[in-house]
Each structure stands twice: as structure tokens, then as C-alpha cells.
Amino acid sequence: MRITIFGSGYVGLVTGACLAEAGNHVVCVDVDPRKVEMLSRGEVPIHEPGLDEVIERNQAKGRLKFTLDAAEGVAHGLFQMIAVGTPPDEDGSADLKHVLAVARTIAEHMTDYKVVITKSTVPTGTADKVRAALVETLAARGAATEFDIVSNPEFLKEGAAINDFNRPDRIIIGTDNPRVTELMRALYEPFTRNHDRLIVMDIRSAELTKYAANAMLATKISFMNEMANLAERLGADVEKVRLGIGSDPRIGYGFIYPGVGYGGSCFPKDVQALERSARAVGYESNILGAVEAVNARQKRVLHHKISAHFGGQLAGKTFAVWGLAFKPNTDDMREAPSRVLLESLWADGARVRAYDPVAMAEARRLFGERADLTLCASMEEAVRGADALVIVTEWQEFRSPDFDAIKASLSTAVIFDGRNLYDPQLMQRFGFVYYGIGRGAKVPTVRA
């Protein structure tokens, strides 16, 4: 099949690469000349395990191309996928200007039937706006070219996106035309051979499904963080509680790990956008507001623990920070808890020695050169001479370090574990003062 994807960001790149890997011919259109030039050379601007190999392989076979030429892209594909960003507007709602600009671009150049597919995460009702933009632009040209609109939201996890696309839990198809359902079924047939995972519904329900899924996962995270904070005040261990409730199949173990809050490009933006969508139709979503508030507070928990331990005297102290990306297996630092922590430490006059396996370049881009930040080449280098170790991201290589070496490198044997990687009793035997999240030690109240 011939497919065009507008937008070569995270969703567009993974979607294009995986569809090309299945034998389709894919053209990815982007407006950024530098990005298109990089991708055409085989350089991938994001970190996603396995993605660079898939892109390189399919470019070499002539099945994947990157271009600035929108007209070429529109002429190429029966399927026109919109995978551009929907950043938060000033009021927190999703900004659709890029989505609608692509819709108008498609209409400006199309000369035959197209299936226009929104892959971007968009509010309910966006398909109506896309349709209107297409109709208006076609009318201005005096054209009456047929098209159909499909909502086909993505459910990719950063760090596992290739596997998620190739072995999907579900493929949501929102359409009002049965003919389009069969076209979409054919498009995704290579990914559903073992089991039909297509779930077909109306367009508005498909649009809401994506937001509802992310909001539910974010709610589980915030709920567990709320329980962790309560466990500290009651002298309970939230990790034991997690095992106790996760064994209930109605709850499950997924997304109930306490920590320092969620980040990334999806959960914060989508929860906020869904809350604004509710307000737009006169509904006040108390749960969504609480999920946001708990998450914002949780991102300050580590700083609060650090400040309490050192009696509020952080000026001149140096902290080793392990993990900068918002989660493992990505270099994405958008809305990352590490950013809140670092800014808070700097505001108190502290210095930071940071290490992340893949996010160092992104950290350098975000923070630049500053005297109170040292970006280290290894986890061992980061702890050298620091007053305490702070763990923010649960990278695999942090799970079983040399604790004797860490203790020898630190000026004081203190660990603030924002991901509960270590056993408190083991840390005590190694001679560390250890702070986890919800591990039973009572702490001063965290103020909102």
C-alpha cells in the first residue's frame, strides 16, 4: 500500500518505519528542512530502541522516504495520516493549528480519493473540524474530490514503541463509512494475523478513547502516589500495599508503582486537554483535576525530603542525580520530574552532578552550560564527592550498583530513592540513610 504521513516526530517516525517494514511504500512529509535532511541521511533525531535500524533498512530498500514536498506526499498515498503535534494552548486545551493546516494542505493538492487519518491525539470533535477544513479548501479550488475521515489514535509507549506497533493490544478505528473499515483492516492485516485486534466505532468515540486511556493510566499513577504519601504518615510500606492490591485481577500490577510523578509528552498534556474539553461542555471533572494536582505535588516530594534531611540548608551542597529522562529507554525530558527537582535544588543554591544513559544531549540542550550543573559520563562519576545520591529514573543499570563504592564516593552516605529501587533494610545494612517513596518512615507534611 502507498501511505503518506505528515509529521516526522515520535508517532510519525514509528508509524512510518513499521508500516514500511511490513512492505508498504511510505512517504513522510515534514516542514523542518534540518530534520528531513537528517532522516534522509539515516540519522534519527529521537531515541527509541530499534527505530534507527528499521528506518535505515527500509530507506535502503526504497520503501521509506522523507521529504519537504507536501504535493509529492499527497500525490503518493491513498492513506494520508496526520501525525503532527498538538501542544497545549495557553488554557491547556490541545492546539489544533498544525492538524488543521495539514488538512488544508491535503485538500490543496489532492486530485483523487483519499482516506484522511488522524493519528495525532486530538480532542473529541476534531474530525469534524478536519472535515470542514477539507471541504472548505476543496470548494475554494472548485474541486469535488471525495475523501473519508478516520480516527486511528496511537497507543505507543516510549521505549517500547516498535513492539507496541507490531504487536498491538488493540487498533482503534473510528469511521462512519463501512468501506473505509475494510481498507483499514487491509492496512493493518500484517499486524493482526494471530488475532483480530481491530475495534471499530464511531469517530467521536475513537477520539475520546485515546484521551480516556491516558487519563486512566495517569489516574492509577496519581492514586498510588497518594497512597505512598499516606503510607509514610501511617508507618506502612507502600511496596507491600502495591503487591497486596495488584494481586487483585480487577486492579492488576500495571501503573501502580509509586514514584515522583508522571511526565513525558502524553499524560500531562492529555489529562489537561481532557479536563479542558470537559469544561468546554459545562462539566467539571473533579477526578482529572485531582490527578493533575497530585502529580504536580509528587514532583516536589524528593526536593522536600532532601530539604528536610539537610535542615533546609542546601546552599553549597552537591547532589548526584541518576536519571533525567521521564522514564527509562527514552531521552525524552518533556515534563520530566528531574526538571522540577533540578530547578528546586538550584534555587536553593545547590549543585548537581547528573547522569542519564541516553538523555545527556537533551539535558545539555535544555540547560546549556551552567556552573551548578555537571553532566557526567557515568553513574560512578556522578556520585564522586556528592553529598547525597538522588534517583529519579528507574534505568535498569541503576538497580544493582556497587553500594560499597557508592558509599566511599559520597561525602555523606545518604540515598533519596524516587523509584523505590532498593530495599530499605539492605540499605541500612550497607550503612546508608535511605529515603524511599512511601516506605514507612514518617515525614513532614508536603505542602501543596
Question: Residue-wise over 37-71: b if at least 16 C-beta within 10 A, else e?
Answer: eebeeeebebbbeebbebbbebbeeebbbbbeebe
Q: Report the C-alpha gap between 421 and 402 in whole angstroms.
A: 14
CB-neighbour burial class of residue 248 (10 A; exposed 0-12, middle 13-18, buried 19+): exposed
Joined together, the cell numbers standing for residue 129 give 473540524
Q: Report the C-alpha gap between 422 and 261 in whole angstroms.
A: 18
Report the SS3 class of residue 415: strand
Q: Report the C-alpha gap between 151 and 116 in whole angstroms.
A: 9
Residue 114 bridge partners (DSSP): 147
Q: Which of 18, 28, 266, 376 is catalytic?
A: 266
C-alpha atoms less than 13 angstroms from C-alpha of 32 in its C-beta half-sphere: 12
Strand order in the sheet with 147-151: 64-67, 25-29, 2-6, 79-82, 114-118, 147-151, 171-174, 198-201
Distances, alpha carbon 371 to alpha carbons 349, 364, 374, 444, in Å: 11, 13, 8, 31
266 is known as an active-site residue: yes
* Sole residue written with cell 516526530: 9
Write out the DSSP string of 200-255.
EE-HHHHHHHHHHHHHHHHHHHHHHHHHHHHHHHHT--HHHHHHHHHTSTTT-STT
Joined together, the cell numbers standing for residue 118 give 488522524
Joined together, the cell numbers standing for residue 435 give 529515603
**Longest CA pairwise span in the chain (Å):** 78
Specify whether the CB–CB gap between 278 and 211 falls below 8 A.
no
Q: Report the C-alpha gap between 363 and 371 in whole angstroms.
A: 14
Q: Report the C-alpha gap between 10 and 28 in whole angstroms.
A: 12
Q: Report the C-alpha gap between 424 and 200 in whole angstroms.
A: 48
Specify whether the CB–CB gap between 162 and 50 falls below 8 A.
yes
List, by residue number, the catalytic residues.
266
